[in-house]
A = this chain, B = another copy of it.
Amino acid sequence: MKSPEQKQFYSITELTREFEVSTRTIRFYEDEGLIQPIRRGRTRLFKPSDRRLLMLIMRGKRLGFSIAEIREIISIYKEPPGEGGQLKLLIEKVTEKRDQLLQKRKDIDETIAELDQVEEQSLTRMAELGVGR
């Protein structure tokens, strides 16, 4: 079986709709070297791999990573199988990014726990005041 439907190319507006960003934003990411769409004439054509990179970028943005940091993460994925010394370096980079992410997850869990407390207290208070109001 083949994959359900692999599109050859995406237009810039298709992607702006999918990711809810402007064309300016996508071109900006190209300027920043995060994606490299090919051209037909002057028009950009985005491959599935560009689309995947955009998903990565958006995820990074949601996590509060800067463009520079997102570039680093992407470069980790792109690194070729490589030899010896490079691999050790790569693993160090991975470890560093993972540590950052673990810190963020800790922050999230703490914040969620606090929000849960607020909610619980609110619910208790509402019950005291006579429910359904």
Contact = CB atoms under 8 A, between A and B. Distances in A.
Interface of A is mostly: helix
A84 B128 CA distance: 10
A33 interface: no
Contacts of A38: none
A40 interface: no
A77 B108 contact: no
Nearest to A82: B125
B77 A98 contact: no
A11 interface: no
A86 to B, nearest CB: 9
A67 interface: no
Interface stretch (A14-22, A24-32, A41-49, A87-95): A87-95
20 contacts: A59-B107, A59-B111, A61-B64, A63-B63, A63-B64, A63-B108, A63-B111, A77-B118, A81-B121, A82-B125, A84-B126, A85-B133, A87-B126, A87-B129, A90-B122, A91-B122, A94-B118, A94-B122, A95-B119, A104-B108
